[in-house]
């Protein structure tokens, strides 16, 4: 007799008291100065040259922005109403550069999820993610650059590129024995300036 009563009571207790509706946080749009971190427009074509073979490779750019959302757990950041769980909606700006030669894609991902104001979010999202068979992060325009190695002026085929970030990649998802990007050279004005592979081969920006 006792057990069914307890079961019924527990069922009523757990089903009759729904959790409060999670907070919904709209982080709005990615600020223009951060979008300026990526100089490419949808439909652009840029060229890179494989240094030893002199092969010139066209990369076609696709750039799209969309809204997406994620779940947040634990305490809500201080600037929002407290709630046990929450959702946040943010913008993602994705740039993919497809080569017209059988080599790797290049891509850049921007997001304004950093605006959630959590410390972890700030350090993770307040940078542009670069991918080239290995990934690296570059800070947004106007943010702190002190931790980055920056080449003031880099000459490639008679062209000079200013303030080039020299970014060592992470390759944690892959096998270190396989050829991957070791260093990515990038600036705000030109985007990908060079890719140095783990076997020493280089792909450098090519302009007439």
Distances, alpha carbon 192 to alpha carbons 26, 115, 123, in Å = 31, 26, 22
Say how far residue 76 (Cα) sits from the centre of its chain. Answer: 23
User: Is residue 133 involved in binding another protein (CB under 8 A)?
Assistant: yes
Which of these ranges, 77-85, 161-169, 185-193, 196-204, lies near another protein under the rule CB under 8 A? 196-204
In Å, the largest CA–CA distance within the chain is 90
Query: Looking only at residues 153 through 192 of this chain, which bind another protein when binding is defined by CB under 8 A?
Result: 174-175, 177-180
Considering only CA atoms, which of 39, 49, 36 is closest in space to residue 194? Answer: 49
Which of these ranges, 70-78, 97-105, 109-117, 145-153, lies near another protein under the rule CB under 8 A? 97-105
CA gap 146, 118 in Å, rounded: 21
CB of 50 to another protein, least distance (A): 5
Query: Looking only at residues 32 through 71 of this chain, which bind another protein when binding is defined by CB under 8 A?
Result: 50, 52-53, 55
Q: In this structure, what DSSP letter does residue 99 have?
A: E
Chain residues binding another protein by CB under 8 A are 50, 52-53, 55, 101-105, 133, 174-175, 177-180, 197, 199, 201
């Amino acid at each position: 007799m006792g057990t069914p009563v307890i079961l019924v009571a527990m069922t009523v207790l757990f089903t009759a008291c729904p959790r409060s509706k999670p907070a919904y946080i709209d982080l709005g749009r990615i600020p223009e100065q951060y979008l300026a971190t990526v100089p490419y427009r949808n439909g652009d074509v840029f060229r890179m040259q494989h240094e030893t073979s002199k092969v010139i490779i066209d990369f076609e750019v696709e750039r799209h922005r969309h809204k997406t959302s994620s779940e947040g757990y634990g305490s809500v950041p201080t600037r929002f109403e407290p709630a046990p769980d929450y959702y946040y909606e943010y913008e993602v700006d994705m740039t993919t550069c497809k080569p017209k030669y059988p080599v790797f894609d290049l891509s850049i991902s921007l997001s304004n999820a950093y605006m959630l104001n959590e410390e972890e979010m700030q350090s993770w999202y307040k940078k542009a993610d670069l991918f080239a068979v290995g990934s690296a992060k570059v800070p947004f325009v106007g943010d702190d650059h002190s931790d980055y190695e920056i080449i003031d002026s880099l000459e490639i085929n008679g062209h000079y590129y200013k303030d080039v970030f020299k970014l060592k990649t992470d390759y944690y998802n892959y096998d270190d024995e396989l050829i991957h990007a070791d260093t990515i050279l990038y600036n705000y004005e030109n985007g990908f300036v060079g890719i140095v592979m783990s076997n020493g081969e280089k792909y450098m920006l090519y302009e007439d």
